[in-house]
């Protein structure tokens, strides 16, 4: 089994965290949209009830008034739910941004480490090549003494 470089493991973990945070952010966006639609529906229901100006019998007026109060409470509840969803959206956006910055930093660190490793390997290869060339150009009697 090939051993993975520790920085590659960190990058992989950061990538998984970033993908999860991005997914959570998408869910939060969808939740905010659903709550906004719900609030709009509740407001439309309330406006439909309040918009009727014709004279009504007392028992129907009382029923509509009770339904209107219940609908107004539902509108208020929907507004509170929307506010909570927007707060969650902001929190999830912050988490995703942090995860994305963390991933970017780890990727840059890994790239820097790979460049440093390549530089060290190139210098080692040059040294070996220099030693081979020096050994080749030694006098024939010096080569046999070794």
Look up residue 51 and give its DSSP letter. T
- Report which of residues 2 and 23 the model is more confident about: 23
What does the pLDDT read at residue 145? 57
What does the pLDDT read at residue 144? 57
CATH number given to 6-109:
1.10.287.1700
The mean per-residue pLDDT over the stretch 102-128 comes to 93
Helix (H/G/I), strand (E/B), else coil: 79: helix
Sign of CA dihedral 99, 101, 106, 110: positive
Closest CA to 72 of 105, 48, 90: 48
Look up residue 137 and give its DSSP letter. T
Q: What's the pLDDT tens digit per position in 119-134?
A: 999 999 999 998 888 8
Burial class of residue 45 (count of CB atoms within 10 Å of its CB; 0-12, 13-18, 19+): middle
What does the pLDDT read at residue 116? 93
Question: Maximum CA pair distance of the chain?
Answer: 126
Closest CA to 37 of 92, 87, 78: 78
What does the pLDDT read at residue 137? 82
Cβ neighbours of residue 43 under 8 Å, at least 6 residues apart? Answer: 75
- Under the banding of pLDDT at 50, 70 and 90, the label for residue 77 is confident
Q: Any idea which of 4-18, 77-91, 99-113 has the lowest mean pLDDT? A: 4-18
Cα–Cα distance, 105 to 112 (Å, whole number): 11
- Under the banding of pLDDT at 50, 70 and 90, the label for residue 8 is confident
For tokens 């493991």, name the residue: 9
């Amino acid at each position: 089994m090939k051993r993975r470089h520790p920085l590659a493991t960190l990058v992989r973990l950061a990538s998984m965290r970033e993908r999860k945070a991005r997914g959570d952010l998408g869910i939060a966006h969808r939740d905010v949209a659903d709550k906004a639609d719900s609030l709009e529906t509740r407001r439309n229901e309330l406006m439909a009830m309040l918009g009727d100006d014709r004279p009504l019998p007392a028992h129907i007026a009382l029923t509509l008034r009770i339904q209107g109060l219940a609908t107004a409470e539902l509108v208020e509840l929907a507004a509170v739910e929307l506010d909570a969803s927007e707060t969650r959206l902001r929190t999830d956006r912050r988490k995703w941004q942090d995860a994305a910055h963390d991933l970017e930093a780890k990727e840059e660190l890994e790239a820097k480490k790979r460049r440093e490793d390549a530089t060290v390997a190139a210098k080692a290869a040059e040294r070996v090549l220099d030693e081979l060339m020096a050994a080749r150009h030694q006098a024939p009697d010096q080569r046999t003494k070794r």
